[in-house]
Amino acid sequence: MSEFLKRFADNLNKNVPGFIGVAIAEVKTGIAIFSHSVDDEFDPELASTFYLEIVRAKINSIYVLKLKNQKIDTIVVNLTSQIHLVDLSDNGEYFIYLAIEDDKNDSLPVVKKLIEQYKQEIKSIQDELRMVHEDLQNYEMQKAKSYRDELEQIEKELKLIREDFNKTEDNKARLLREEREQIEIELKIVQEDLRKQSESEL
C-alpha cells in the first residue's frame, strides 16, 4: 500500500509541473491516509483539514438545495500563483488534495488525468483500510466480551465467598447464642441452689 502511494506521489511530482504537495483524506473522519510535499514549509495534511470543511459544506449545500443527481467532482481554488485542487471520490468517502505552482493554469488537464488513473487503486486501499478497521473493531469487541465474561465469573466467585462467609458468621452467632443460653440456664440453676441453701439454713 505504501509503495503504491509513493508511486502516486512520484508520478505527480514527475509529470505535474510546479507540483507542491498532495494529501488523501477521508471525508467522514478527516484522517489523512497519505501526504507528501516537496516543500518542507508546506504541510498538505494540514491543508487538507481546511479543505475538508469546504468539501463538507459543499456536500451539505447540495442536500439543502435539493440538487438531485448532483455530486461534487472537483473543487478548484485559484490563488495568485498556485492552484489548490480537491477531487472527491465517486463514492464521496475520500478526496485527493493537490497543490501546484501554476501561473498560467495549464496543468489541470494533466492533473485530472493522473488522478483518474489512480482513483480506483486508492479506493481499493480505502477498502483494505476499512477491512483492517473492522477486524480491529471485532477484535476489540471480542476482547471486551472476554473481559466482561471474566469479570462476571469473578463476581460470581466473590458472591459465593460472601455467602460462605455469611453462613460461617451465622453459624458462629448461633453457637454463641446457644452457649450464652446454656450459661444462663446453668446460672439460674446455681442461683436456685443458692436460694434453696439459704432458705434451709434459716
* Report field, pTM of the whole predicted structure over 0.95: no
- Tell me, yes or no, whether 27 lies in a domain: yes
d(CA 94, CA 83): 20
What is the reported pLDDT for 188?
Answer: 83
Q: Is the pLDDT of residue 161 over 90?
A: no
Asked whether 33 and 45 are in contact (CB, 8 A), the reply is no
Whether 156 maps to a domain, the answer reads no
**Mean pLDDT over all residues of the chain?**
82
The reply to whether 9 falls in a domain is yes
3-state secondary structure 15-42: HCCCEEEEEEEECCCCCEEEEEECCCCC
Residues 26-83: tens digit of each pLDDT: 898 888 888 999 999 999 999 999 999 999 999 899 989 999 888 888 888 888 888 8
Residue 181 located in a structural domain: no
The reported pLDDT for the residue numbered 81 is 85
Give 20's pLDDT tier (boundaries 50, 70, 90): very high
Give the rounded percent of residues in the chain with a pLDDT score beyond 70. 87
Task: Please tell me the total count of domains within the chain.
Answer: 1
CB 74 within 8 A of CB 88: yes
Residue 102 located in a structural domain: yes
Q: Which residue has the higher pLDDT, 101 or 127?
A: 101
Q: What is the CATH number of the domain that holds 71?
A: 3.30.450.30
pLDDT greater than 60 at residue 147: yes
Q: Is residue 28 assigned to a domain?
A: yes
Please write the tens of the pLDDT for every residue from 162-189. 888 878 877 787 888 888 888 888 888 8
Domain region containing 81: 2-145
pLDDT the model gives residue 89: 85
The residue ranges of DSSP E strands in the chain, in sequence order, are: 19-26, 32-37, 74-78, 82-88, 94-101
Q: What was the pLDDT predicted at 201?
A: 66
Task: Report the C-alpha gap between 55 and 78 in whole angstroms.
Answer: 16
Residue 133 forms part of a structural domain: yes
Residue 172 lies in a domain: no
pLDDT at residue 4 is higher than 80: no
Better-scored residue on pLDDT, 114 or 16: 16
